[in-house]
Structure 1
């Protein structure tokens, strides 16, 4: 109605460059704002940290399927993700909301709010657990390369390494109140990611020829190729912190956000494709869930890559903690937390994640299910459903066509992903030296598969 629109318009101002973009006026002037470059670093780090170099997600899809279909997945998912991220912010502008939870609450009421809150909490929470496991598995191998540090040394104990990294790095970084403060940390993570990619490419050229490819390594796809989509959806998701990064922009307009999204998703696509091609061409069917498990322990270059890998994961952990804390604060208390409540909730989240990661060391199946149950609805279904509910016209008319198609795709991926995960569950093989490491001249000893 005209009265409701007038009330809505009074709470927002129109940007002169993008007349259709509505910008919240209720900004806290005390909070610093990030530039588009800084926001892009945070966004790229969120995508890359969650999947491209995350534990089990470098090699997990590739070890199950064939390389050509994976490249097709990368490009298709990146285009759909780019569109749905922008669609999500459009829905926020249409409803006058500034968070994923408030968008769903205003669109589908309290039941939708509860479902979204559960999904939005579950994804980053499990991601943080997997990051701690990654840190423990990766840095212990790095420390064992130090003279005098053997398998029985305290630095080779994964529990000690996880606790040490939590106390010294991840918890202090997670205490920041404004996500834009992590811009420099995210830039460091990006630099480390590029270094890791260079190392993987070098080893593809120098170590790959020594390992014979597995049978049918370059077939286009297996019949159950759809199983990898749920995992890769987990790897590419960044919707859970989109509003946080959007709100941190100096000028949060739809035009600026579209540019940040294109840059971030495009950069993540290039990096992920580089890891996929270099990693799979080196090890083909032997590719492990964590690609660094494929390299021999006495490989100094790979050891340096493991070190960069571990530090990069440490710098990504706080981004997921920001989202988890926001969900918890929205559900149990007001969004404007006091310093005491902010620190208490952060400590509780980090402590629970650390405790779980100390008790369990293999989350392959959990991450598969999380990709199908959490990531797929957050990427495909919910943003599209909110936009369709808020927009005028029928589902398959005009600009509503693509959101309607995304809902159908999301339901298909979620259902088939759950079925395939039950039929073909992922195992866990980390910590085992690969057979080709037993002989420096492995080219003549690698048996066919």
Structure 2
């Protein structure tokens, strides 16, 4: 789950005055540029004088929380439409590229002494750059909120129906669209109206714990179920002839190593969506004990490596349980009355419900800074922005038919912007030409990296629009 808590807690630090001139590239090794000159008779203020207190291990935990999100539920679906080997190769590529983009961000931040993603945009392109970066982050967080509410929409009726011994498809008060409105009004809105975010800081750890529980359960259910499971519990428990039970099953139970189909246009965006953590990198850097570029890069590499292993295991065991029948929201594939899966559903529902207001806070902060700069805090404005955002996200979740569309669109727009395009542009604009000429190898790499992001965005969106136009996005039956 995105760790916007760190961003909110560091808001006062991140919104300091921007330095007027760039620091020499070599000075990055010594510390960040101070935001104001030292007092007469005192030594220059360095970044180390504002050293954070967060250990290396806790920083890894925090960044892992920032990476981990609802995208993990769609990775088995991505593997089903690429094959095991092809999927793992693509996942590794995304992980390596994500690590490289963090290297670009840390380099830029070290040169100009900026600790916020939005401020890098302002340093590179002025106020327009800050607006663009804030808009991309808002788009990504709206997508994250939508994916969380979609999980509530699909899983909460099953949980309530199990406890009440009712059919979630038969009773009007168990409809997912109604339940997400109720949850939004009774739980999410009161939390989103809080003035400060600190009380919600523990949800990050809860979310990661729930996803670890989810991974362990997926592995266990693979060995318990094998391949003998249908697409839904009704088919399994009905008294229909045996032949009907086989409908929805992968009768061959053979894993595909390499495959390409029309749904592949969703797979890479889902993987990109699952690795976005870049807006939180610099706030975590600010909190790091004994901060240095090399130390923070090590934090990023360990976190990305751990999430790569977790994603790979979840996707592999989920795919090997359901094979080609796996849905974009894998948790929905399991039996409604399975006690273990019921516990997993409850844990995931609790985590995503408490995370929605955490994701809402930075969106509201960005909107206030863009639309009402310099304005004092106002409760009516604070409440109005939260209400508008929640209404917008609820309408989006009610209208969008499947979670794969949310993963696909956000993974094809905001994810490549945050991972590929913006870090490369920042590097090209911020690193002085006298330090790295434009035709130097590092800048050529950064340019190719940005071009790769543009191509990725264009191709993914093109294939998705083509699928929607031809109706092939519905062929999977989701």
- The interval holding the TM-score normalised by the smaller chain is 0.7 to 0.9
Corresponding residue of 1:184: 202
The answer to whether structure 1 residue 218 and structure 2 residue 256 are counterparts is yes
Which residues in structure 2 correspond to 1:66-215 (within 5 Å)?
A: 66-151=83-168, 156-175=174-193, 182-210=200-228, 212=250
In 2, are the aligned partners of 1:170 and 1:315 still within 8 Å (CA)?
Answer: yes
Provide closer, same or farther for how the CA distance between residues 268 and 6 of structure 1 changes in structure 2, counting only shifts above 3 A. Answer: closer
In 1, are the aligned partners of 2:203 and 2:351 still within 8 Å (CA)?
Answer: no
Query: Which has more radius of gyration?
Result: 2
In 2, are the aligned partners of 1:66 and 1:220 still within 8 Å (CA)?
Answer: yes
Shift of residue 328, structure 1, vs aligned partner:
0.9
In 1, are the aligned partners of 2:70 and 2:147 still within 8 Å (CA)?
Answer: no
In 1, are the aligned partners of 2:420 and 2:450 still within 8 Å (CA)?
Answer: yes
The answer to whether structure 1 residue 418 and structure 2 residue 461 are counterparts is yes
If the length of structure 2 is used for normalisation, what is the TM-score?
0.75
If the length of structure 1 is used for normalisation, what is the TM-score?
0.80
Listed as ranges, the gaps of 5+ residues in structure 1 are: 433-449
Q: How many residues in Structure 1 have an aligned counterpart in Structure 2?
A: 417
In 2, are the aligned partners of 1:240 and 1:323 still within 8 Å (CA)?
Answer: no
Encode CA deviations 1:98-146: one digit per residue, 9 max, x unaligned: 3222211221234433433332221111221221121121121011111
In 2, are the aligned partners of 1:49 and 1:312 still within 8 Å (CA)?
Answer: no
Provide closer, same or farther for how the CA distance between residues 381 and 359 of structure 1 changes in structure 2, counting only shifts above 3 A. Answer: closer
Corresponding residue of 2:334: 295
The answer to whether structure 1 residue 389 and structure 2 residue 429 are counterparts is yes
Shift of residue 149, structure 1, vs aligned partner:
4.4
Corresponding residue of 1:65: 82
Corresponding residue of 2:388: 348
Partners of 2:59 and 2:385 in 1: CA distance: 25
In 1, are the aligned partners of 2:211 and 2:348 still within 8 Å (CA)?
Answer: yes
Shift of residue 60, structure 1, vs aligned partner:
3.8
Partners of 1:19 and 1:362 in 2: CA distance: 49
Shift of residue 276, structure 1, vs aligned partner:
0.8
In 1, are the aligned partners of 2:134 and 2:366 still within 8 Å (CA)?
Answer: yes
* Higher mean C-alpha deviation, range 386-395 or range 75-84: 386-395
Corresponding residue of 1:242: 281
Q: Classify the secondary structure of the residue corresponding to 2:413.
A: helix
Provide closer, same or farther for how the CA distance between residues 337 and 219 of structure 1 changes in structure 2, counting only shifts above 3 A. Answer: farther
In 1, are the aligned partners of 2:79 and 2:316 still within 8 Å (CA)?
Answer: no
Partners of 1:334 and 1:287 in 2: CA distance: 47
Shift of residue 205, structure 1, vs aligned partner:
1.0
Partners of 2:280 and 2:93 in 1: CA distance: 22
Partners of 1:39 and 1:170 in 2: CA distance: 27
In 2, are the aligned partners of 1:86 and 1:258 still within 8 Å (CA)?
Answer: yes
Partners of 1:189 and 1:335 in 2: CA distance: 34
Partners of 1:37 and 1:408 in 2: CA distance: 34
Provide closer, same or farther for how the CA distance between residues 408 and 430 of structure 1 changes in structure 2, counting only shifts above 3 A. Answer: closer
Provide closer, same or farther for how the CA distance between residues 82 and 214 of structure 1 changes in structure 2, counting only shifts above 3 A. Answer: farther
Partners of 1:123 and 1:216 in 2: CA distance: 36
Which residues in structure 2 correspond to 1:224-263 (within 5 Å)?
A: 228-249=267-288, 253-263=292-302
Shift of residue 154, structure 1, vs aligned partner:
6.9
Corresponding residue of 2:64: 44
Listed as ranges, the gaps of 5+ residues in structure 2 are: 1-17, 37-44, 229-248
Provide closer, same or farther for how the CA distance between residues 110 and 119 of structure 1 changes in structure 2, counting only shifts above 3 A. Answer: same
Shift of residue 184, structure 1, vs aligned partner:
2.3
The answer to whether structure 1 residue 400 and structure 2 residue 477 are counterparts is no
CA RMSD in angstroms, aligned pairs only: 3.5
Partners of 2:98 and 2:216 in 1: CA distance: 26
Partners of 1:396 and 1:33 in 2: CA distance: 40
Shift of residue 83, structure 1, vs aligned partner:
2.1
Corresponding residue of 2:30: 19
Q: Classify the secondary structure of the residue corresponding to 1:424.
A: helix
* Higher mean C-alpha deviation, range 297-306 or range 193-202: 297-306
